[in-house]
Amino acid sequence: MSHTASAPANAEKRYTVQRSDLPLSCPLPEMALWNSHPRVYLPIEAAPGHEVQCPYCGSHFVLAD
């Protein structure tokens, strides 16, 4: 199955994610990888306040629910 990226990678610096988006990775699955850093999985459920920051690009992720 092929998956076409529909969003530019790391265009925003703050993302709100839902539990349905887990496991969380940066860049997100709908983002293009060719112009970004390697995909890294972020343990947002275990993080204080359910907030994490990508160690590569600094994007901030918040778990909404």
21 falls within a domain: yes
Is it the case that residue 3 has pLDDT exceeding 60?
no
CB 16, CB 62: distance < 8 Å: yes
Q: For residue 30, tell me if it sits in a domain.
A: yes
Could you tell me if residue 48 is inside a domain?
yes
**Structurally, how many domains does the chain consist of?**
1
Report the alpha-carbon distance of residue 31 to residue 2 in Å, rounded: 14
| 10 has a pLDDT exceeding 80 | no
Q: Containing domain of residue 52, as a range?
A: 14-63
Asked whether residue 26 is assigned to any structural domain, the reply reads: yes
pLDDT digits (tens, 9 = 90+) for 12-65: 789 999 999 999 999 998 888 878 899 999 999 999 999 999 999 999 999 997
Query: Could you tell me if residue 24 is inside a domain?
Result: yes
